Amino acid sequence: MDLKAYLQRVNLRHCAPSSFSSLREIHRHHVHSVPIESLSMHSGEKIILDFSWIYEKIVVRRRGGFCYENNGLFLWVLQQLGYHPKVLAARVLDPKLGIYGPPFDHILMTVELEGRIWLCDVGFGEGIIEPIPLEDGWEEEQDNNVFRLRVEGDEWYLERKEEEVWRILFKFTLEEWTLDDFREMCEYHQTSPCSFFFQKSFCSLQLPCARLTYIGHRLISTKYTKGGGSVKTTQELTEEEIPGLLRDKFGIVLSGKLILKDEDMVMPTLPQ
């Protein structure tokens, strides 16, 4: 890995020795620089769960990716920088269907620094911008919302406050895994009608106190307000406008033709 090239990709000039302040800075810059997107699977490109492949896509070709790609790259970066991240697996709660995704639905990690364990996740669109301490009941307001962690038995829940109501984003345990353990689910999310990524062509980037999201034929602009509020505006797009929008707003130029998609997910048959 060319760490200098990665730092340039996330708009950082240099990286201080491993510390929480440095971890927080890298985490925030990654979230603000690399989109969450499903465009590969809608433009003829198969996603390969391999450090070098992910690095080439996100850093060299300046693309984004879904959780396995973004957090996979971030995992490799932290390892190269001398951190000792531990990989965790989460199951995302679908807010419409009210059910959790299958095991290994989402990848995230922890880093132990300065006497605390920090939860890191640069691959979840509505998630944290900066690491948060892995502590039951921890509550923190970041630029994009208020988050809290709580634990029930051996399961942890990351929640987001929306208009005074706490919504579960996902649940996870502290069992440690490797990137290879997510290969089957990486394939699932590229091919299953039960997957959000398969059913929708989208690209989303966190901005300071805002988020910009392309999906199907729409561009959604979200401005966040204090205490967990937000204001959204939606613009309808023509097919001809979308390549220019992806280039100008997200810095993405696709090598294949994008097949626009915005379909409803199918109820999964996997056990919950």
Is 29 among the residues known to form the active site?
no
Q: What is the pLDDT of residue 198?
A: 94
CA distance 260 to 262: 7
More confident residue, 209 or 267: 209
Q: Which two tokens stand for residue 232?
A: 């959204």
Could you read off the pLDDT of 25-50 as tens digits, one per residue? 999 999 999 999 999 999 999 999 99
CA distance 257 to 243: 9
Q: What is the pLDDT of residue 259?
A: 95
Instruction: Round the CA-based radius of gyration of the chain to a whole number and report it.
Output: 18
Statement: residue 268 has pLDDT above 70: no
CA distance 134 to 137: 9
Q: What is the pLDDT of residue 265?
A: 75
Name residue, tokens 């990654």. Answer: 30
Q: What is the pLDDT of residue 228?
A: 74
- Is the pTM higher than 0.85? yes
Q: What is the pLDDT of residue 40?
A: 96
Statement: residue 270 has pLDDT above 50: no
Task: Give 269's pLDDT tier (boundaries 50, 70, 90).
Answer: low
Nearest to 95 by CA among 27, 190, 167, 201: 167
Active-site residue, from 27, 30, 42, 106 = 106
Could you read off the pLDDT of 136-176 as tens digits, one per residue? 999 999 988 899 999 999 999 999 998 788 999 999 999 99
Name residue, tokens 């100008």. Answer: 248
Statement: residue 229 has pLDDT above 60: yes
Could you read off the pLDDT of 235-263 as tens digits, one per residue? 999 999 999 999 999 999 999 999 999 99
Statement: residue 272 has pLDDT above 60: no
CA distance 147 to 166: 9
Beta bridge mates, 203: 37, 214
Task: Give 225's pLDDT tier (boundaries 50, 70, 90).
Answer: confident
**DSSP-assigned letters across all residues of 195-214:** -HHHHB-EEEEEETTEEEEE
Active-site residue, from 15, 29, 67, 203 = 67
Active-site residue, from 120, 121, 189, 203 = 121
Could you read off the pLDDT of 171-199 as tens digits, one per residue? 999 999 999 999 999 999 999 998 999 99
CATH number of the structural domain 3-181 = 3.30.2140.20
11 touches 33 (CB < 8 A): yes
Q: What is the mean pLDDT of residues 219-224?
A: 94
CA distance 68 to 57: 13
Query: Would you say how long the chain is, in residues?
Result: 272
Is 186 among the residues known to form the active site?
no
Q: What is the pLDDT of residue 144?
A: 87
Nearest to 189 by CA among 55, 36, 66, 90: 66
Mean pLDDT of all residues belonging to the chain: 93
